[in-house]
Amino acid sequence: MTYFPEEVVEHIFSFLPLHSDRNTVSLVCRVWYEVERLSRRAVFVGNCYAVRPERLVQRFPNVRTLTVKGKPHFADFNLVPPDWGGYAGPWIDAAARSCMGLEELRMKRMVVLDENLELLARSFPRFKALVLISCEGFSTDGLAAIASHCKLLRELDLQENDVDDHGPRWLSCFPDSCTSLVSLNFACIKGEVNPGALERLVARSPNLRSLRLNRSVSVDTLSKILVRTPNLEDLGTGNLTDESESYLRLSSALEKCKMLRSLSGFWDASPICVPFIYPLCHHLTGLNLSYTPTLDYSDLTKMISRCVKLQRLWVLDCISDKGLQVVASSCKDLQELRVFPSDFYVAGYSVVTEEGLVAISSGCPKLSSLLYFCHQMTNEALITVAKNCPNFIRFRLCILEPKKPDAITNQPLDEGFGAIVRECKGLRRLSISGLLTDKVFMDIGKYGKQLEMLSIAFAGDSDKGMMHVMNGCKNLRKLEIRDSPFSDVALLGNVAKYETMRSLWMSGCNVTLKGCQVLATKMPMLNVEIMNELDESSEMEENHGDPSRVDKLYVYRTTAGARNDAPDFVKIL
Amino acid sequence: MSTSSANSAASPAVSGLDYDDTALTLALPGSSSDPAAADRKRAHADHDKPPSPKARAVGWPPVRAYRRNALRDEAAKLVKVAVDGAPYLRKVDLAAHDGYAPLLRALHAMFASCLVANGAGRLVDAATGAEYVPTYEDKDGDWMLVGDVPFKMFVESCKRIRLMKSSEAVNLAPRTSSQ
């Protein structure tokens, strides 16, 4: 291959879709490294602190799509204190200096400031797509900058971000010359938008395929918009609380959208809106009703029983087991199901139990991705589910009460989860809950050969549990553990493993400062971050040998060394 | 704010978790018996025990803050609505309506399958012609007729709504407005 001209080598590399494959070929020789790095169009950074931004943009100056992830996953549940880090600024600064051709930026769990968005908007003449997921730190002023200056903008996708509302002005900042929008999602924007500006923007966006509105958009405005978007494929409604006259207009507008395949929103949806959605149902492949506590089991099932082509369904647990049986008998193509809790109190009536899950598993054999919150589970049910659905790739079960045993036998749920890992040979992501002993970890280590991400809460008896996982799960990338009895022994049991993983999170466990220091000393290519609730920083400096318990531990491999933006409560060993 | 009445004695004041309010039930509205008792498979909540500390662990259950905030909209006041004879409950957001008239229209729409409005604007059972009146349980646990107090006061104190047959509602005395 070294006798081929570089253009040929580059062309061959263009057939490698996976980042991992491109990473591999770049290791072969210097020529290949150079060809690969200059022709790389997409870079994925799973941990923003694993590599220095300047280093990355120098290696890949021609990158067009950059994806960066910041805070650890448990930050979603308030386990990571505010101001921990994950700043977008350094990445946007570095790219602005070295990657003029940047077209797409995707960020998840990062702190993005308005000034970062302003720099982004002005620095990349071909910028086309901004996707921000679970980010914070910016306001609608930052969005105004994007709208004003990104002349070729195709995609502005804001998913579940915490955005400060500085008024509706931002939407009006899209110039009249902006006609390139394909995807616009502002569902997480809390404030009003100007309906007229929105209608005009949609009217001049003939390529719009995906539109997700926020709560402030009325049924009337939605109706007017839909008349302009006959090619819309994905719609997130505004609020649906209006009186029934508005729905007649909506219904005739919806009828024109023959390409509509995915629905979400339904903020505060009144049950009277349900029949007006019926004509769409049999085309739908995606339906998200998980923000709609106002629709009950009967409304939901009337809608869902008509959605015979449904592949992805997100609902609240008010759908109940009976409702899930309707899903099972109607939605034979279902691949992804998420059932969220409608109230967060741990004790309570069982609206959704193991019965609903078993029904789904027997009716929907294509099911491969599950997130299921419930009040109770049994081993028997999980064993049945595993047999019915061996194709699970993602299996996340959350029994609301920590350490709750099998609801019938009172035994731990080891057998049930064991069956899942044993039968589902392609399982890549697993979250376990309920009463669990070290036995379940034996099975996870033995059978979880494809497992990449494992989430553990209130589980296990001893260090053996964590050791089974560390030694057995060859493909493990992310391990996150809370409130489980694993100590320094487990932490230090297989230190070389951490080099093959993206990160480890442990909180509420039994690791100590001493153990963490040993880890940091043995593995210089890791950052070992500890966070304690109380400000013990001065104490820690004085008592290096003090075996004080560490509240929160975050370990990750990195080529960047200790980060310089860590707040006071984070100590990097 | 009125003191807790016997109705809320089961829920511990300390946690603020009112199990009665949060327990979703498929039983006929108004029945006080535990509907789950017959079914041994269903573990039912022990309403008398205070929640154990682990039940209130930080970040548990693992639901994103965005989702928690979206479902617990401060401005919303969701209350359950029951109709005598209907097997399930609905919920209405009291804060989403400006006054009694739009609220009653919304209630009507919710139960349009079994109740219709007669000439006098009252809700009647389509089959039997029996008239239904909207009633509500207030903070003190008393059942009152909807419409007797200023709307904002009603929104503040309403815990749940029940569409009751008029024949039964005669026992409810209209409340004199008191603070």
- Tokens matching residue A513: 């400062």
For A137, the 3-state DSSP assignment is: strand
Q: Cβ A77–B71 below 8 Å, yes or no?
A: no
How many other CB atoms sit within 10 Å of the CB of residue B137?
18
| CB-closest option in B43, B45, B57 to A483 | B57
- What is the rounded CA–CA span in Å between residue A409 and residue A412? 9
Say if A342 is an interface residue toward chain B (CB within 8 Å).
Answer: yes
Residue A180: name the closest of A152, A145, A157, A158 by CA: A152
Each residue's pLDDT expressed in tens, for chain A with a length of 573 residues = 557 888 888 888 888 888 889 889 889 989 889 989 999 999 999 999 999 999 999 999 999 999 999 999 999 999 998 899 999 999 999 999 999 999 999 999 999 999 999 999 999 999 999 999 999 999 999 999 999 999 999 999 999 999 999 989 999 999 999 999 999 999 999 889 999 999 999 999 999 999 999 999 999 999 999 999 999 999 999 988 776 677 888 888 998 899 999 999 998 888 888 998 999 999 999 999 999 988 888 899 999 999 999 999 999 998 999 999 999 999 999 999 999 998 776 555 668 999 999 999 999 999 999 999 999 999 999 999 999 999 999 999 999 999 999 999 999 999 999 999 999 999 999 999 999 999 999 999 999 999 999 999 999 999 999 999 999 999 999 999 999 999 999 999 999 999 999 999 999 999 999 999 999 999 999 999 999 765 444 444 444 444 588 999 999 999 999 999 998 888 888
- What is the rounded CA–CA span in Å between residue A157 and residue A210? 9
Please count the residues of chain A. Answer: 573
- Tokens matching residue A249: 């207009």
- What is the rounded CA–CA span in Å between residue A49 and residue A67? 13
Q: Which fold has domain B78-168?
A: Ubiquitin-like (UB roll) (3.10.20)
Maximum CA pair distance of chain A? 73
Give the domain ranges of chain A: 1-40
Give the domain ranges of chain B: 78-168
Q: Cβ A77–B56 below 8 Å, yes or no?
A: no
Chain A (411-470) residues lying within 8 Å, Cβ to Cβ, of chain B? 431, 455, 457-458
| CB-closest option in B44, B54, B68 to A349 | B44
- What is the rounded CA–CA span in Å between residue B63 and residue B68? 7
Which chain A residue has its CA at the smallest distance from B41's CA? Answer: A408
C-alpha A69: how far from chain center: 10
For A443, the 3-state DSSP assignment is: helix
- What is the rounded CA–CA span in Å between residue B138 and residue B158? 5
Å from B160 to nearest chain A CA? 14
Q: Cβ B91–A293 below 8 Å, yes or no?
A: yes
How many other CB atoms sit within 10 Å of the CB of residue A138?
25
Say if A293 is an interface residue toward chain B (CB within 8 Å).
Answer: yes
The answer for A16, left when phi > 0, alpha when psi is -120 to 50, beta otherwise, is beta
- CA-to-CA dists, residue A315 to A44, A195, A341, A350, A529, angstroms: 31, 29, 9, 16, 37
Q: Classify A1-40 by CATH class.
A: mainly alpha
Peptide bond into B61 cis (omega under 30): yes
Strands A503-507 and A65-69, sheet pairing = unpaired
**A257 phi/psi in degrees, rounded to 5:** -90, 80
Interface predicted TM-score (ipTM): 0.89
Say if A244 is an interface residue toward chain B (CB within 8 Å).
Answer: yes
Å from A175 to nearest chain B CA? 31
